[in-house]
Amino acid sequence: GQQLNQSPQSMFIQEGEDVSMNCTSSSIFNTWLWYKQDPGEGPVLLIALYKAGELTSNGRLTAQFGITRKDSFLNISASIPSDVGIYFCAGQEGAGGTSYGKLTFGQGTILTVHP
Amino acid sequence: EPEVTQTPSHQVTQMGQEVILRCVPISNHLYFYWYRQILGQKVEFLVSFYNNEISEKSEIFDDQFSVERPDGSNFTLKIRSTKLEDSAMYFCASSEAWGLGGDQPQHFGDGTRLSIL
């Protein structure tokens, strides 16, 4: 099946620093999404990307859909303590593919922010 | 903001017993999903459901599992004869649309923690 490789696995940063994480895939996805998961809760959608090359921002978060449709990155600027959590990328095939909306998730990036 | 709700938040069951996990998707959503997350691992797709039938299922979703939309609001996952390895967080998700006409992102509930003893 399709696999997403997400890196880094974990990051320890100081408050105020910028953060970057990325996902790569051996196969094409037509939609890339970034979710954040806090302990004991479900994934919460941060950014959805639908078009190759698209760059989208949501506050301090910026994500890009790679031109090849096989990768995506997420940047967090000026990190704050509440950014702590696990960040997941997820890919979706989209219409015309062999799946019906199924999300394939990366392994997650654990972010720790020191005040 | 509308949200996906799941009950119970934690279910403890003896191995071999049947469990039913319940979800109330967002009201105008048409596509429903179940995922699971074993402790410390990534989220894995189980099944998608649309128009009262399964659209796709993963290898994990074997004959032990079934899904149902018994009425206009609930979406359930049943696990028959549970095994120790079924212990995981189970997440329900829903989306307004998928495919031609515009993909819409999936929104997740907070999950049910299933512990099999």
Instruction: Give CA separation, A31 vs A51, A65, B99, B106, B110, in Å.
Output: 7, 8, 11, 11, 23
Q: Give pLDDT tens digits for B63-83.
A: 999 999 988 789 999 999 999
B82-86: long-range contacts, CB 8 A cutoff, minimum separation 24: B82/B13, B82/B14, B82/B15, B82/B16, B82/B17, B82/B18, B82/B19, B82/B114, B82/B116, B83/B15, B83/B116, B84/B15, B84/B116, B85/B116, B86/B114, B86/B116
> B95 — contact with chain A (CB < 8 Å)?
yes
Q: Encoding tokens for residue A65? A: 């859909």
Q: Encoding tokens for residue B79? A: 């696990």
Q: Give pLDDT tens digits for B12-51.
A: 999 999 999 999 999 889 899 999 999 988 999 999 998 8
The C-alpha angle B72, B76, B79, rounded to 5 degrees, equals: 160
User: Which residues of chain B neighbour A106 with C-beta distances below 8 Å?
Assistant: 42
Beta-carbon contacts of A99 under 8 Å, excluding residues fewer than 6 positions away, are A92, A93, B56
- Chains A and B form CB pairs within 8 A to the count of 71
CA–CA min distance A32, chain B (Å) = 10
Amino acid at B104: Q
Residue A97 has pLDDT above 90, yes or no: no
Q: Mean pLDDT score of chain A, rounded to an integer?
A: 91
Residue A30's pLDDT band (cuts 50, 70, 90): confident
Going by the DSSP 8-state scheme, the letter that residue B27 receives in this structure is T
Residue A94's pLDDT band (cuts 50, 70, 90): low
Locate the chain B residue with the closest alpha carbon to A95: B99
Q: Encoding tokens for residue A14? A: 């100081």
Radius of gyration of chain B (CA): 14
Q: Hey, how many other C-beta atoms are within 10 angstroms of the C-beta on B5?
A: 14
CA distance B34 to B36: 7
**Record: contact B106-A88, CB cut-off 8 A:** no
**Record: contact B98-A101, CB cut-off 8 A:** yes
**Record: contact A100-B45, CB cut-off 8 A:** no
Asked if A78 and A94 count as a contact pair (C-beta separation under 8 A), the reply is no
CA distance A16 to B116: 42
Length of chain B: 117
CA distance A63 to A57: 6
User: Which residues of chain B neighbour A42 with C-beta distances below 8 Å?
Assistant: 4, 6, 91, 108-111
Task: For chain A, give the percent of residues with pLDDT over 70.
Answer: 93
Residue written as token pair 């062999």: A98
